[in-house]
Chain A
Amino acid sequence: MTDQTTHAVAYTPEDLPTARSFFQPHRIVMMLVFAAFVICVAVFMRWDWLPRYLPRLGWGILVSLVMLFSTSILGFLLAVPIGLAQVTGPWFFKLPAKVFCTVVRGTPLLLQLWLLYYGLGSLFPQFPAIRQSFLWPYLREAWPYGVAALTISFAAYEGEVMRGAFAGVPAGELEAAKAYGMSRWTMFRRIWLPRAIHRALPTLNGEAVLQLKSTPLVATITVVDVYAVISKVRQETFLTYEPLLLLALIYMCLTGILVVAFRTFENRIPTRGA
């Protein structure tokens, strides 16, 4: 995915409104209309179920966030070697990395998730060695498959981004590092990786938002995240819109927080003003 597309499908810091922009006459009127709409929703729709489900909702949000952060971090750790292998590796590293990225990016995440959960999940019990290993109690749960699928997907998308970022670091900087007598590893650790991450940061932010948008899929394999809690509410109260509207609101807040956090992080990295 190009940077432009990631930006188009994921909310990024450039889209954040400034505080001053709210005080334009037409916006004040629009906000009043919106406030009236919110009050109508609050008054005329049924929200009496909310207090009962609040603890479970909080727990669900926590599960979603843990899913997001664990898979993003694990995926990023995988993405660095994948990106690096595609830039400098010999063909027997380059080819598998390329195939991995193409296959994972070419198939829907839902299918990968179900392939791991139903496919591998039905395969594992047939091997006594796995049933007796210490991993078995975990492999019987649903969440390891969710974490695995989300991690693989993030690694593939981010690996492609890191490939571009590694390739985009100016050759002169690497030559300068070499001229200082740095070993390959020192050069990678001090120059190449930090510069590549800096270049990838805006896209990384977009990918993180996309990853947040992918987390509800794990609810389809019985992981109880916030989406699953809302589905439960819908089944028990027979309400259609209220829980879904609340869910959309929750995800918008999470995205907003994530984007603001990324912006503060990005601003802390000193850059030469253009």
Chain B
Amino acid sequence: MASDSIVNWSLLALSAPGWGGVLLQGFVNSIQIAIGGFALGLTLGVGGAFGKLYGGPILRDLLECYTTVVRAVPELVLILLLYYAGTDLLNQLLALFSIGPVDISGLMAGIFVIGVVQGAYSTEVLRGAIKAVPAGQIEAARAYGMSPLKVLRRVTLPAMLPYAIPGLSNLWLIATKDTALLAVVGFSELTLVTRQAAGTTKAYLLFFLAAGALYLALTLVSNIFIGMLERHARRGFAEQR
């Protein structure tokens, strides 16, 4: 087919006959989920890391189960399980309080699912980072009579940051790419809209390459910011390697 050899760029136009606007909307959805999921994961991770390091034996074992399951089971399976189980449990809980079933928005469900998966990963990253903080610094803070929360806020969290940033930045990149898996449960993020656009127009290569370029741009822009953040966090450190 000779007509296909020339790329039909008008398919990427932003307004209605073109699919560019739809693609960008999907891209925005992906970024929203990635940011939300990463933030939720970070919150879970801070709690999980402290629970694993300083918690009682039962809490520690439960957290170990959580991180083991998430690290041993494919994200795709976890996303399906959490997506169905999460919405189902919430509705059953609401029914218990005799409130009618609510329609959970795809965005919320997506953030929840990515967040739970990311939570296990960042638990492991943060635990390693906290363990890398010299024990003397935390002991010194305690010796000053700081309360545990103050130690956390003033010493442990800032001191572990340089150790945690490489791992956490990788997790952010993983979060952006994991959003693509939500296509399987039918959430209209970038990968799914790309497939719909490609299926409708039959211009498969054009749309998948365009989506790939968007993902790649996100990664590269993230890398620039991560580099800046890392330099900022590592100031005062002796240069390694």
Contacts and interface: CB of A to CB of B under 8 A. Distances in A.
Contacts of A120: 205
B191 A108 contact: yes
A229 to B, nearest CB: 13
Contacts of A107: 177, 212, 215-216, 219
Interface string A229-249: 000000000001100110110
Interface residues of A, number: 52
Interface in A2-35: 2, 4-5, 7-11, 15, 24, 26-27, 30
B73 to A, nearest CB: 5
Interface string A204-228: 0000010011111100100000010
Contacts of B77: 216, 227, 244, 247-248, 251
A213 B194 contact: no
A110 interface: yes
B106 interface: no
A241 B82 CA distance: 10
A214 B212 CA distance: 18
B102 interface: no
B88 A240 contact: yes
A9 B191 contact: no
Nearest to A7: B124
Contact of B74 (A5, A105, A215): A215
B225 interface: no
Contact of B212 (A5, A111, A227, A255): A111
Nearest to A16: B68
Contacts of B183: 110
A214 B74 contact: yes
Interface in A95-127: 102-103, 105-112, 114-115, 118-123, 126
Given A8-B125, A115-B209, A2 B167 contact: yes
Contacts of B74: 212-216, 227, 251
B71 A9 contact: yes
B174 interface: yes
Contacts of A105: 173, 219
Interface in B175-216: 177-181, 183-184, 191, 194-195, 198-199, 202, 204-205, 208-209, 211-212, 215-216
A108 B216 CA distance: 9
* List of 3 A-B pairs having minimum Cβ-Cβ separation, nearest first: A108-B180, A106-B219, A8-B124
20 contacts: A8-B122, A8-B124, A8-B125, A8-B128, A9-B121, A9-B124, A103-B212, A107-B212, A108-B181, A108-B215, A109-B177, A114-B195, A118-B195, A118-B198, A119-B209, A126-B1, A213-B73, A217-B76, A248-B81, A252-B73
